[in-house]
Amino acid sequence: MSTATAKRAPIGTKARTGEVCPESGVWKVDGSPSTTAPIAKGNRMPPYDGKAVTWVLSQYA
């Protein structure tokens, strides 16, 4: 396993609205209604539909 891969947050990692994004990729809202959004590492996790939500990493950028 390469060093770059070893440092990545695993698929399925969760982050809440307002937290710093731990990994660049496509994130999905955990729950319903749901959506996906590309979010870059270091950015703040956004709200969805005006509410604080839990985001789940579904794919790497």
Output the 3-class SS for 5-30: HHCCCCCCCEEECCCECCCCEEEEEC
**What total of structural domains would you count in the chain?**
1
Q: Give SS3 for 3.
A: helix
4 confidence band (pLDDT: 50, 70, 90): low
The pLDDT of residue 2 is: 55
Query: Domain residues for 30?
Result: 3-60
Q: What is the pTM of this model?
A: 0.88
Q: Tell me: pLDDT of 6 over 70.
A: no
The pLDDT of residue 5 is: 54
